[in-house]
Structure 1
């Protein structure tokens, strides 16, 4: 495969990965916002605590979606390590997401329903950028064998054809 063809293939694979991540993430956002608003309107939890609970519920939902849909073809051998890294990076995303809401609510005093949902959504967006990078880089790593096969295939496709050993050294008939 030519270099432009290989690049197109890699971009297509990345596009599918981003789309699958987006589907799971989009559903996770809906879960997050639904739980957040349900807790805000039916309990006496302070806003940021309600947001933290909603984020934890969404993290659990997203793990199942990422493991069994988005990254189902990735290495499954080290589940304990995978879950530990997933939780670690999810906690960093949780801090990013809820840090934005905390700053808007307690730093700027914007705690109305519309403002809290806006800053919750904005924080989710920032946290999602971090999560996408960290999950694909560290948590749901591609299988080494698959990478090796792709590298070998691209190497073989770039190599020039070698004459077969049967024909080497034998005179070839003239064709007119």
Structure 2
């Protein structure tokens, strides 16, 4: 039976307890966190809103700038109209099931057809029909940057577990 590591001091226990509560609130309420202020290389709408937001913000598949093997993970091509940069590389340190959370968002916020069933999974339809905001996939990506950075800040501040034997 696997053992859960124990801390040796009560203060360390309470530090983990407090961090757990903060992380739970952060992760459960990820849609309410402030979107990370990325730099828009292309597609900055702060001065002039797009005439057709649904088309302007439509995402097919996000990808990193650059070419393999030198991908630029600080810059993401969101679609043909929008490229964002200024993504801190530390945001990729938060890993869920072996993959950075940001890469999960990039992989899932797209348009994809299931080969077996032919069902189309379209993040844009969800954004428009369910959330009511065509910018949702872009803002979600920005929010997950914030969540990733905050998560790693909390985790790195935890006390060391020491010798667990």
TM-score (norm 1): 0.33
Question: Highest relative contact order (Cα 8 Å, sep 6+), 1 or 2?
Answer: 2
Higher strand content, 1 or 2: 2
From the CA coordinates, give the structure whose radius of gyration is larger: 1
Structure with greater helix share of residues: 1
